[in-house]
Chains A and B, each alone.
Chain A
Amino acid sequence: MLIKQLSVFLENKSGRLNEVLDILGRADIRIIAATVADTSEYGILRLITTDTAAAYMELKNNQVSAQQSDVVAITCDSSAADFAAKISCFAREGLSVEYMYCFSVGDKAFLILRTSDNARVPELVSRYGLQTITEHDLSLL
């Protein structure tokens, strides 16, 4: 239901993002989705990969500050109306969305959400009949 996301601390210095991606590339880890949010001094790179546990160990061994955390990835079609409908399920239950990004494979789109209360996510997913993807699904991509 929940999947692992990798967050990586990135100082705002040219080339640093490349270094991190190179480390993952050398370990044969593929990136399914990525987003970078930054301030003037540093950024946090958020990644969904084919093997997040391995990616985390690879970065750790290379002295990169990283963390694994839980997010939910919901299947939806690419229409704005559908995006809104899916997100509103959480709002209705009093969960706020801290951040969100998406990716698509073929005609399928996936919304990755970090909510204010991960513990309640499974319950809401089943109540609203949302479709989510699992770690196993990711490893097959």
Chain B
Amino acid sequence: MDERYFQPEIETMGRHDLEALQLRRLKESIGAALRSPFYRTRYGGAGITPDSIRTLDDLRRLPFTTKDDLRGNYPFGLVAVPMDRVVRLHSSSGTTGNPTVICHSRHDLDCWANRVARCLYMVGVRDTDVFQNTSGYGMFTGGLGFQYGAERLGALTVPAAAGNTVRQIKFIRDFGTTVIHAIPSYVFRLYEVMRESGISPQTDTRLRTLVIGAEPHTEAQRRKIEESLGVKAYNSFGMSEMSGPGVAFECPEQDGLHIWEDSYIVEIIDPQTLEPVPDGGIGELVLTTLDREAMPLIRYRTRDLTRILPGECPCGRTHRRIDRIKGRSDDMFIVKGVNIFPMQIEKILMQFRELGTDYLITVDTVGNNDEVMVEVELGDLFTDDYSQLQRLTREITRQLKDEILVTPKVKLVDRGTLPKTDGKAIRVKDLRNNR
């Protein structure tokens, strides 16, 4: 048996067999979904049955499921099994309206733990490891999700939960923690406090692997985490609607996240036309659960933007890879018929060393035309010469136009002056609807 894989027969299954497995499970999922009041009305009314699906492509004819559907059928309208089979629920904090609730049967929890174990095993976590989880426990799925996954693997699992950095560091040292799960900003906090206390992560701890996720971060931040702590850091992707962590995870290649296609069918759609986007193109991630019985979700619109990375992964896994999530489809805007995502603009701006990190995209109607203005803060002043500043502005404009196909107006602004709400930068301001 190949030591690299937790479930070699599934992780390296040929595409043909994997798709056959998906088709079989998809029919089962639709059959199960039809037992819930929500899908019985929505799908049953439209005459959709498991037999409506003859190929995986037939899935595209089914209506989407959205977060509003979950909220509107709060709390149990999508539950597809008798309630005595439900053994746990996780609920999101509902800042607006009803929260979303996801119910799990014993089988669902079993599959979930197995997926998380598979992810951790993929990046070298074994039963000899000590896994410290700094996620919040309780309703937040990063707590119990990683807890049961790491236990499934046989690792000594420390449910440290969030906060109390000094205590976290004491655990790391006393228990010989080798693997930590944390959000990136908390990793930096841990590192800060270690340094202040004169503890070297390299020589005074056994830390080897970090699992990071739940918070957008750049490749540069990952490298910084790896360098400062002397570890390998891997990206984790999950969401409570899809059970929690364990949906997609980086392999040792650190080039995209394998999404477990025995558990999910992946679609990337244009959030406006709802049509499929070809592999490699950016769009909204749409997921269908394949092994969840208590609350199957069909064509769930995640609102997360990503793309399928074309090509095979050298690690030998056949499950396709998605790019790290960089934005929400709600942030997309359309100018002159072109879909524009802030992340496209950000990607270009971040390539200019002369610029700072904050920017603001404003879309407005000028005369009869929609115009895009990109305000970006300057870094340290690199010249004393206007023509150099103008040349920089022209070069940014040219590269942006190549990327978004619309010529934006680029404006350099003072650092620290772009608007923020709750400390978070505002990226897009669309003034067209206000007139």
List residues of chain A with CB under 8 Å of any chain B CB: 5, 7-11, 13, 16, 37, 39, 41-42, 44, 46, 60, 63-67, 69, 98, 114
Q: Is the CB of B416 within 8 A of A63?
A: yes
Q: Is the CB of A9 within 8 A of B386?
A: no
Cβ of B384 under 8 Å from chain A: yes
List residues of chain B with CB under 8 Å of any chain A CB: 377-386, 389, 411-417
Q: Is the CB of A11 within 8 A of B384?
A: no
Q: Is the CB of B412 within 8 A of A98?
A: no
CA distance A63 to B380 in the complex (A): 9
A9-B411 contact, Cβ under 8 Å, with A39-B386, A44-B384, A67-B382: no
CA distance A67 to B417 in the complex (A): 19
CA distance A42 to B393 in the complex (A): 12
Residues of chain A with a CB closer than 8 A to B416's CB: 63
Q: Is the CB of B381 within 8 A of A42?
A: no
CA distance A64 to B382 in the complex (A): 12
Point out the residue from B389, B412, B414 that lies within 8 Å of A64, measured CB to CB.
Answer: B414
Q: Give, as a whole number of angstroms, the nearest-CB distance from B367 to chain A.
A: 19
Q: Is the CB of B386 within 8 A of A66?
A: no
11 A-B residue pairs with CB within 8 Å: A9-B381, A9-B414, A11-B413, A11-B417, A42-B413, A44-B386, A65-B380, A65-B381, A66-B381, A67-B381, A69-B384
Point out the residue from B379, B381, B411 that lies within 8 Å of A41, measured CB to CB.
Answer: B411
Q: Give, as a whole number of angstroms, the nearest-CB distance from A57 to chain B.
A: 12
Q: Give, as a whole number of angstroms, the nearest-CB distance from A46 to chain B.
A: 7
Residues of chain A with a CB closer than 8 A to B386's CB: 37, 39, 44
| Majority secondary structure of chain B interface residues (helix, strand, loop or mixed) | loop
Given A65-B381, A67-B381, 5 extra CB contacts under 8 A: A7-B381, A9-B381, A41-B411, A63-B415, A67-B383
Q: Is the CB of B384 within 8 A of A65?
A: no
The 7 residue pairs across chains A and B that have the minimum distance between CB atoms: A67-B381, A7-B384, A65-B381, A63-B416, A63-B415, A65-B378, A11-B414
Residues of chain B with a CB closer than 8 A to A8's CB: 381
Residues of chain B with a CB closer than 8 A to A63's CB: 415-416
Residues of chain B with a CB closer than 8 A to A11's CB: 412-414, 417
Residues of chain A with a CB closer than 8 A to B384's CB: 5, 7, 44, 46, 67, 69, 114
Residues of chain B with a CB closer than 8 A to A66's CB: 380-381
CA distance A114 to B417 in the complex (A): 31
Q: Is the CB of A9 within 8 A of B378?
A: yes
Residues of chain B with a CB closer than 8 A to A60's CB: 380
CA distance A90 to B97 in the complex (A): 73
Residues of chain B with a CB closer than 8 A to A16's CB: 414
**CB-CB nearest in chain A for B375:** A11
**CB-CB nearest in chain A for B410:** A41
Residues of chain B with a CB closer than 8 A to A39's CB: 386
CA distance A60 to B383 in the complex (A): 15
Residues of chain B with a CB closer than 8 A to A69's CB: 384
CA distance A42 to B380 in the complex (A): 15
Q: Give, as a whole number of angstroms, the nearest-CB distance from A52 to chain B.
A: 13
Q: Give, as a whole number of angstroms, the nearest-CB distance from B366 to chain A.
A: 16
**CB-CB nearest in chain B for A11:** B414
Q: Give, as a whole number of angstroms, the nearest-CB distance from B379 to chain A.
A: 7
